[in-house]
Chain A
Amino acid sequence: MTEIFGVPTQALFGQLLIGLINGSFYALLSLGLAVIFGLLNIINFTHGAQYMMGAFVAYLLASKAGLGYWWSLAVVPIVVGFTGVVIERLMLSKLYKLDHLYGLLLTFGLALIIQGLFRNEYGTSGLPYSMPAELAGGRNLGFMFLPNYRAWVIVASLVVCIATWFIIERTKLGSYLRAATENPAMVQAFGINVPRMITLTYGFGVALAAFAGVMAAPIYQVSPQMGADLIIVVFAVVVIGGMGSILGSILTGFGLGVIEGLTKVFYPEASNTVIFVIMAIVLMFKPAGLFGTQK
């Protein structure tokens, strides 16, 4: 068997694929952050908590209402997205005139409160959530055993990412949105309800986080700090990709997943720092991120 740096190539293919799967989560989450930052200029630190809420609402739907995974995938983003709409209307909308920092502090505080409430209610050991029967099991690809569910994660994440990119960059609605960020007064003058559009955009970003949460529920423990563990990495992904760049966050998400996966093979001890090392290097040479534009 051929080897690269002492690792069999077959094992390497497996790790690349795993990296891609983890990258799908990074991409989904960083996409939501990028949409919110790009269009609202809010650094949404509540994102991790909203991802966690997605997983918890899916758990609650399954255990209290008997609604399975597929229902959750459709219902949960709407439910959690709605809580986002409420947060935007009641709190965030008051902060747009102020510095970024205020939005960051508000969303960070909210994240701590939400996580604390869930921790108080459910503890930290996590809750079980079963995989949908249709996606249980897996297939042997020759170089690795690929669980069906993980394959589904890649496909679903790609579809959602591409659809979001298409809506924002290629449709009329998207062009309104982008125009409203550039010059809200002008767009409003054309008879478009800008505040409502912004509210819905935040709700959509939050719904993306909740969607990722439902996707994560069958493979990670559903626990109150699941988002807190992930959100810091996702922020690094957004910074590397360029704050607010939709395409940048998608590509960086997948790319960094792969790099992290490879680190887990060659030097696993560094696997949770490698992304931050990359972030530091990127910021040194391209302060606006790989795909960002300096404003």
Chain B
Amino acid sequence: MKLKQTLIAAAIAAMAGTANAQVSDGVIKIGVMNDMSSLYSDIAGPGSVVAARMAIEDFGAAKKGMKVEILSADHQNKPDVGSQIANQWYDVDKVDAIFDVPTSSVALAINEITKKKGKAFLVSGAATSDLTGKACSPNTIHWTYDTWMLANGTGSAIVKTGGDSWFFLTADYAFGHALERDTEAVVLKGGGKVLGKVRHPLNAQDFSSFLLQAQASKAKIVGLANAGGDTTNAIKQAAEFGIVKGGQSLAGMLVFITDIHGLGLDKAQGLIFTETFYWDLNAQTRAWTKRFAAANGGKYPSMVQAGVYSAVTHYLKAVEAAKTDDGTKVIAQMKAMPTDDPLFGKGSIRKDGRKLHPAYLVEVKKPSESKGPYDYYKIRATIPADQAFRPEKDGGCNL
């Protein structure tokens, strides 16, 4: 009996010992998982891996004697594929932290797996505000943006300027639903009303049928609660069906600079939306972007890719400070330290896992105002960090 107790105690001590051992197997392994081949691969994709690599270099990991390795994988926007990769990474490949993961349904699945396994999950690509709400976790930090922030930034700006009746075109999965829900709340709060909504499958090519329904609703604003190729196709076809000429306005709830690049300024001009990063904010962002573009085939960074850089930087700082790569401890350390990097400036991380930084309400320039490729935005307003994101008490997170 005594022996058994001693053995158990020894086993527990040994387990705790491995967790305390500074860096497991001597290597910090980070996995960048996102859409590498389909509609979100320009927003995240290989560019996020480039950003992570730059962060490791700039942190000077090699000089500090820290060995950092990067793995990357394509989750194909499918929660089952993403979960399988996450399990394999954590269990077999000994990955310590997973970064990026656009597509909210996949991010929510990996959020659960990471919590169960006590690892670290730094979300840049996914949007659903549930990650810091009812699905919040002590092992997850939501970095770059979320649906509440988009709804609050873009939605309230539009309602204030008279756009008080809305019709939603919503991508039919976790992200679209969250974005629609959060935007609807902002519209109703501002005294507006929602006249109708239609949910389209992810990666729909043809939006004419949905646009016709939006047109028939006579709503002043057609809110696009979707992203990537879905948004660009919808905007392109809305022009064709005379939505804007007929007096209705489009509100892209989640638009990235890569989308504007793909649409061309003549079709995108005048669009208003919210971003947390723009390459032309200041000298630091411009210098960083120059290096990034050189390593990324000339393509400029999206806010998601910038977010990966920022998150990896802060993660490595926390590993260095906490002297461990244990997921739960590193996340706690990250929350305890203020954040600071050239792209997002100074910021902080809240208890519920929400990273705080300013957001920018931008308007797309007219072709005549742009000096060349990627000179696309006018900053209309800066929303300070403490107002850009959902107040902690409203999220329903019980951390």
Residues of B within 8 Å of A21, CB to CB, are: 208
Q: Which of the 9-residue segments B116-124, B259-267, B317-325 touches chain A?
A: B259-267
Asked if A125 and B242 make an inter-chain contact with CB atoms under 8 angstroms apart, the answer reads no
Asked if B212 and A18 make an inter-chain contact with CB atoms under 8 angstroms apart, the answer reads yes
Residues of B within 8 Å of A128, CB to CB, are: 262-264, 266-267
User: Is B203 close to A, CB under 8 A?
Assistant: yes
Interchain CA distance A126-B199 in the complex, whole Å: 23
Residues of B within 8 Å of A272, CB to CB, are: 201, 204
Given known pairs A265-B213, A272-B204, the reply for A125 and B229 (CB within 8 Å) is: yes
Interchain CA distance A217-B309 in the complex, whole Å: 35
User: Is A166 close to B, CB under 8 A?
Assistant: no
- Give the shortest distance, in Å, between A173 (CB) and chain B (any CB): 34
Residues of A within 8 Å of B266, CB to CB, are: 128, 130
Residues of B within 8 Å of A268, CB to CB, are: 172, 198-200, 209-210
Asked if A126 and B229 make an inter-chain contact with CB atoms under 8 angstroms apart, the answer reads yes
CB < 8 Å: which of A116, A219, A271 contacts B201?
A271
Asked if A125 and B240 make an inter-chain contact with CB atoms under 8 angstroms apart, the answer reads no
CB < 8 Å: which of B43, B205, B232, B242 contacts A147?
B242
User: Is B348 close to A, CB under 8 A?
Assistant: no
Residues of B within 8 Å of A45, CB to CB, are: none
Which range contains the number of A residues in contact with the other chain? Answer: 35 or more
B253-289 interface bits toward A, Cβ cutoff 8 Å, 1 = contact, 0 = none: 0000011011110110000000000000000000000
- Give the shortest distance, in Å, between B74 (CB) and chain A (any CB): 12
User: Is B45 close to A, CB under 8 A?
Assistant: yes
Which chain A residue lies CB-closest to B264? A128
Interface size in chain B (residues, C-beta < 8 A): 43
Q: Which of the 9-residue segments A184-192, A198-206, A223-231 touches chain B?
A: A223-231
User: Is A264 close to B, CB under 8 A?
Assistant: yes
Interchain CA distance A226-B246 in the complex, whole Å: 29
Which chain A residue lies CB-closest to B169? A268
Asked if B233 and A14 make an inter-chain contact with CB atoms under 8 angstroms apart, the answer reads no
Q: Which of the 9-residue segments B23-31, B33-41, B390-398 touches chain A?
A: B33-41
- Give the shortest distance, in Å, between A66 (CB) and chain B (any CB): 17
CB < 8 Å: which of B199, B201, B215, B229 contacts A124?
B229
How many residue pairs, one in A and one in B, have C-beta atoms under 8 Å apart?
A: 111
User: Is B236 close to A, CB under 8 A?
Assistant: yes
- Give the shortest distance, in Å, between A47 (CB) and chain B (any CB): 15
Interchain CA distance A124-B47 in the complex, whole Å: 12
A213-242 interface bits toward B, Cβ cutoff 8 Å, 1 = contact, 0 = none: 000000111010110011000000000000
Residues of A within 8 Å of B382, CB to CB, are: none
Interchain CA distance A150-B209 in the complex, whole Å: 13
Residues of B within 8 Å of A220, CB to CB, are: 205-206, 233, 236
CB < 8 Å: which of A126, A147, A226 contacts B241?
A147
User: Is A261 close to B, CB under 8 A?
Assistant: yes
Asked if B229 and A119 make an inter-chain contact with CB atoms under 8 angstroms apart, the answer reads no
- Give the shortest distance, in Å, between B20 (CB) and chain A (any CB): 44
Residues of A within 8 Å of B240, CB to CB, are: 131, 138, 147, 149-150, 219
Residues of A within 8 Å of B258, CB to CB, are: 123, 125
User: Is B42 close to A, CB under 8 A?
Assistant: yes
Asked if A125 and B241 make an inter-chain contact with CB atoms under 8 angstroms apart, the answer reads no
Asked if A11 and B205 make an inter-chain contact with CB atoms under 8 angstroms apart, the answer reads no
B178-206 interface bits toward A, Cβ cutoff 8 Å, 1 = contact, 0 = none: 00000000000000000000111101111
Interchain CA distance A147-B259 in the complex, whole Å: 24
Residues of B within 8 Å of A225, CB to CB, are: 37-39
User: Is B299 close to A, CB under 8 A?
Assistant: yes
User: Is A22 close to B, CB under 8 A?
Assistant: yes
B222-236 interface bits toward A, Cβ cutoff 8 Å, 1 = contact, 0 = none: 000000110011001
- Give the shortest distance, in Å, between B291 (CB) and chain A (any CB): 19
User: Is A96 close to B, CB under 8 A?
Assistant: no
- Give the shortest distance, in Å, between B212 (CB) and chain A (any CB): 5
Given known pairs A147-B242, A221-B233, the reply for A264 and B262 (CB within 8 Å) is: no
Interchain CA distance A142-B375 in the complex, whole Å: 41
Given known pairs A128-B262, A128-B267, the reply for A138 and B209 (CB within 8 Å) is: no
Interchain CA distance A97-B213 in the complex, whole Å: 51
CB contact list, A122-159 vs B, under 8 A:
123-128, 130-131, 137-138, 144-145, 147, 149-150
Interchain CA distance A131-B236 in the complex, whole Å: 11
- B interface residues (Cβ-Cβ under 8 A, vs A): 37-43, 45, 172, 198-201, 203-206, 208-210, 212-213, 215-216, 228-229, 232-233, 236-237, 240-242, 246, 258-259, 261-264, 266-267, 299
- A interface residues (Cβ-Cβ under 8 A, vs B): 8, 11, 14-15, 18-19, 21-22, 116, 119, 123-128, 130-131, 137-138, 144-145, 147, 149-150, 219-221, 223, 225-226, 229-230, 261, 264-265, 268-269, 271-272
Sampled A-B contacts (19; CB under 8 Å): A14-B216, A123-B42, A124-B39, A124-B45, A125-B228, A125-B261, A125-B262, A126-B262, A126-B263, A138-B240, A147-B240, A147-B242, A150-B240, A220-B205, A221-B263, A230-B205, A261-B209, A264-B209, A269-B172
